[in-house]
Structure 1
Amino acid sequence: MSSGDDFSQQSTSLLSGVEDDRSDDTPRQGGLGLGLLILRLALGLTMGAHGLQHLFGLFGGPGIGGFARMLETFGYHKQTTLLSWITGITEVGGGVLVIVGLFTPLAAAGLLGVAANAVYAKFHGGFFEGQGQGFELELLLGAAALSLLFTGAGPISLERNTPWRKRPLPLGLASLLLAAAAAVVVIVLTR
């Protein structure tokens, strides 16, 4: 036997028993549930905290009146108080629903709509916050919400047995259209 044959037999014996038995055809997702929980917590807590700032002035936030004035500096000139309430309630409500994993595609659509409007409002200020207003945080929050539209909450959530968890793509696409429509309506009606 040559040394090449010895190597072939050694590498075969090293890999024996390592084959992935996929006879049950179930996907191997490893830490997907935990990863989605971490994503939901980060998005929900961040957006929820912003909502509490906007609604009640918590965490050094501006409250409704201050947020309405802030929206005016971003080019929103009509119905700013109403928009402040809608934004704050969407951030808090959507944040809570995303955290517990309930109605996740719809909650993520609301958060995506808020993030899309924030990106639109801050876009002229440049990407980085240090160079102007910056929209990098809002873009990242929007991307997290967009991801949850299509993945759903995952197995560590309250929506374990819902129809959209089994087939998240159709509701994800519908939720994306809802978020886009809401963002456009807000821009058209309030700017």
Structure 2
Amino acid sequence: MLNPVEDAPAREPDRWHGGLDVGLLVLRLLLGVIMGAHGLQHLFGLFGGPGIDGFAKVLTGFGYTTQTTLLSWITGVTELGGSLLLIVGLFTPVASAALLGVAINIVYVKFRGGFFEGSGKGFEFELLLAGVALSILCMGAGRISLDRNTPWRKRPMPIGLLALLLSVAASVVVLVLCR
């Protein structure tokens, strides 16, 4: 009697998964466009945004007490840079972890405002963005990306877990040092 494992055909490691790959592209594009637009608002005041100085005041209103101008720059550059990388699917674990870190901080500071966004203080939208970033972090960029032939696209979970730990650690550091 032959072992069924030996008789099974070898799995194609780089096979096209149309639904999964297209779905990951859609998630990457949506998260990248939304967070990138926020980065443009925070850095340059585009789309009716506050710009660096105005965003520093917003951060003060959220309870950040030190280095708000530096934090405004870091947040804006992270949002814009992470978004551009996500859109093209390059260094996806780093990009999604960076955007997840920003979203974690926003959820944390808005948590007392309640779940629903209707009051303008809720965190439901930011929680959704964090969930999308975490999903991309766990699943990888998909085949429709510049990360197509990288080790982190072929085995996204181990690198995703490391990036998740770094993202959470960075969020905690920002909250501890700036609040």
**TM-score normalised per structure 1:** 0.86
8 A Cα contact 1:94 1:110, kept in partner? yes
Query: CA separation in 2, counterparts of 1:111 and 1:181?
Result: 13
Question: Tell me, what secondary structure is at the counterpart of 2:79?
Answer: helix
Alignment match, 2:50? 62
Q: Which runs of 5+ in 1 are unaligned?
A: 1-21
* 1:123 equivalent in alignment to 2:123: no
* 1:39 equivalent in alignment to 2:27: yes
Query: CA separation in 2, counterparts of 1:132 and 1:92?
Result: 23
Alignment match, 2:75? 87
- List 4+ stretches of structure 1 deviating above 4 A: none
**Offset at 1:169?**
1.1
Query: CA separation in 2, counterparts of 1:95 and 1:134?
Result: 23
**Offset at 1:25?**
3.4
Higher mean C-alpha displacement, 25-34 vs 150-159: 25-34
**Offset at 1:130?**
1.2
Alignment match, 2:4? none
**Offset at 1:147?**
0.6
**Offset at 1:131?**
3.0
Question: Tell me, what secondary structure is at the counterpart of 1:124?
Answer: helix
**Offset at 1:62?**
0.3
* 1:152 equivalent in alignment to 2:140: yes
Note the alpha carbon deviations across 1:138-187, whole angstroms, 9 max, x for none: 10000000011111110000011111111111110000001000000000
* C-alpha distance 107-135 of structure 1, shift in aligned 2 (>3 A): same
Alignment match, 2:175? 187
8 A Cα contact 1:126 1:132, kept in partner? no
**Offset at 1:132?**
4.4
Q: Which runs of 5+ in 2 are unaligned?
A: 1-7
Relative contact order, higher structure (CA 8 A, sep 6+): 2
8 A Cα contact 2:16 2:143, kept in partner? no
Question: Tell me, what secondary structure is at the counterpart of 2:18?
Answer: coil
Query: CA separation in 2, counterparts of 1:159 and 1:28?
Result: 15
AA partner of residue 88 (structure 2): V
Query: CA separation in 2, counterparts of 1:68 and 1:132?
Result: 18
Query: CA separation in 2, counterparts of 1:145 and 1:63?
Result: 24
Count the aligned residue pairs. 170
AA partner of residue 119 (structure 1): V
**TM-score normalised per structure 2:** 0.91
Note the alpha carbon deviations across 1:88-126, whole angstroms, 9 max, x for none: 000000000000000000110000000000000111111
8 A Cα contact 1:68 1:80, kept in partner? yes
AA partner of residue 67 (structure 2): Q
Alignment match, 1:30? 18
8 A Cα contact 1:74 1:121, kept in partner? yes
**Offset at 1:28?**
7.5
Bigger radius of gyration, 1 or 2? 1
